[in-house]
Amino acid sequence: DTMLSLRGEKVFIREYAAVKAFRAWTYLQLAIYYGKVPFFTEPLMTEVEADPSRYPFYDVKQVCEYFIPDLEPYVETDFPLAGNDRYFIPVRVLLGDLCLWAGRYREAAQYYHDYLTHPDKPLAPAGNMEAYWGNYEFKSHSSSYSSTTDLAGIRMETSEYDGVVSRLGDVLNSTEDNRYYFEMTSSQSLLELSQAQRYVMVYTDPTTNLRDTISPGENTIYNDSRERGDLRLCSNVRTTYTASRDDYSEDFQTVVRFPVTSNSSFLSEIPLYRLSSIYLRMAEAYNRAGLPESAFAILKYGLSDGTVSKYVSADEQKRAGNLLTWSPYNFITQDMSSTSTTTVNTEGIHSYGCGESYADTLYVIPEGLATHEDSILFVEDKICDEMALEQSFLGQRFGDLQRIALRRDDTDFLARKIAGRAGNDSFNTELYGRLSDRSNWYLPLD
């Protein structure tokens, strides 16, 4: 009863908003993966009413255009009081997603910005460092599960006694139930992309006290090939090798992107929204809203008053308006020239795997690009790469590629990347041919 009020407040308005968000999110996923789906908003109570031919079929843009005004009135509505907030979908973030898919980039940027910089709960993109390399402690952010990085997820049953459990843990990890033969691993193209990144670290010489940047040398020998370049892949996927035992696999894998039970078989939660993913989508929205310098700053520096004043032109700052405003006390970045001991809580997403990317002189928007549109395309390619590096195993890659390909009206963009997933030397021409027909991007409804 949405009209039931107690002391001037609608009693079930929070639950109502949460259900609307679940419905909108579900329809968005259906449209992404099925192309067009029968669209209805009333309960189906009979077999006749469940006949799909009675309803219009909506594609992803039509779904978005319906649900944007449907959710807008609830953008300030809090989550229901019962349960963990992480099991509800933030309306602001979902509105950002809907606007991003609908091509309403300025609105998408605003929703993401207002969510991440909200004065009551600002969310700066920082994390804990780990995955040390060599004497200089080349390091990567921890990609393991924590409540600070996962902002929304689907709660899963973890006890067979209590109900049906997800077996996705057996697909991702070596477990006793799958006799240690995991099914899913990273693609060769992801490994090659990861290895192609440049790790940079700011080093202070203990004798001269001068600061400089250093990187692993080209001839560096690694125990694990995934340690070359970006360090997120070796942090996200842990593998160990043991001598052959019976008929068990010799390679043991654990994907640390998901919270699991003690035996790694049952996932306790499937992440839907991670903090870094929202920042990457915000960068995508900023870029397509005509703000490529700001978008690239999200990747390289993190957005703060200091980075904006240094790395975003006055013209772009003017066009961005309040998209570049936030509390200077909540978003603090480091830079190469600073020796301040002030706690830094804001950094570029690229730093999660490539060290102190703010100091990388090669990770830049090239000078001399012919047009503003060329800058946007360059930055979009970098965002697309960053999504692959940061979101591995989260099940979001196909949707990201599809969204960019549709925006560019470039079927080849998606087809070539997926057909090349086995690496530079194993391009799948048959798969490329199939994906060159957009109707093959979607699952059949029958």
Quick one: 101 and 201 in the same domain? no
Amino acid 219: pLDDT: 82
Q: Is residue 433 assigned to a domain?
A: yes
Please list, in sequence order, all residues whose beta carbon lies within 8 angstroms of the beta carbon of residue 437, skipping any fewer than 6 positions away. Answer: none
Annotate 337-376 with three-state secondary structure. Answer: CCCCCCCCCCCCCCHHHHECHHHCCCCCCCCCCCCHHHHH
User: Largest Cα–Cα distance of the chain, in whole Å?
Assistant: 82
Burial class (CB in 10 A: 0-12, 13-18, 19+), 23: middle
Amino acid 314: pLDDT: 97
Quick one: 230 and 311 in the same domain? no
Contact between residue 233 and residue 256 where contact means Cβ atoms under 8 Å apart: no
Amino acid 225: pLDDT: 84
Threshold 0.75, pTM exceeds: yes
Quick one: 252 and 338 in the same domain? no
Amino acid 169: pLDDT: 87
CATH at residue 92: 1.25.40
The CB density around residue 213, as the number of other CB atoms within 10 Å, is 14
Q: How many domains does the chain have?
A: 2
Amino acid 144: pLDDT: 35
Quick one: 170 and 220 in the same domain? yes
Quick one: 296 and 264 in the same domain? no
Amino acid 418: pLDDT: 96
Quick one: 317 and 257 in the same domain? no
Amino acid 134: pLDDT: 38
Give the separation between CA 228 and CA 216, rounded to whole angstroms: 8
Amino acid 262: pLDDT: 64
Name the pairing type of β-strands 150-155 and 201-204.
Answer: unpaired
For each of the chain's 446 residues, which pLDDT tens digit applies?
Answer: 777 878 778 889 999 999 999 999 999 999 999 999 999 999 999 999 999 999 999 999 999 999 999 999 999 999 998 778 889 999 999 999 999 999 999 999 999 999 999 998 989 887 443 333 333 445 444 433 333 488 898 888 888 888 888 888 889 988 888 888 888 899 999 999 999 999 998 887 778 777 778 888 778 888 888 888 998 998 888 887 665 556 666 778 888 888 776 666 788 888 899 999 999 999 999 999 999 999 999 999 999 999 999 999 999 999 999 999 998 888 888 655 555 545 678 889 999 999 889 999 999 999 989 999 999 999 999 999 999 999 999 999 999 999 999 999 999 999 999 999 998 889 999 999 999 999 999 999 88
Quick one: 300 and 415 in the same domain? yes
Domain ends where: 244, 274, 304?
A: 274
Q: Is residue 2 assigned to a domain?
A: no
The CB density around residue 410, as the number of other CB atoms within 10 Å, is 12
Amino acid 335: pLDDT: 59
Quick one: 49 and 137 in the same domain? no
Quick one: 142 and 256 in the same domain? yes
Quick one: 260 and 289 in the same domain? no
Residue 65 DSSP SS3: helix
Q: Is residue 4 assigned to a domain?
A: no
Provide the domain limits for residue 160. Answer: 129-274
User: Looking at beta carbons, which pairs linking 307-315 to residues 24 or more positions away fall under 8 Å?
Assistant: 307/333, 307/335, 307/358, 310/335
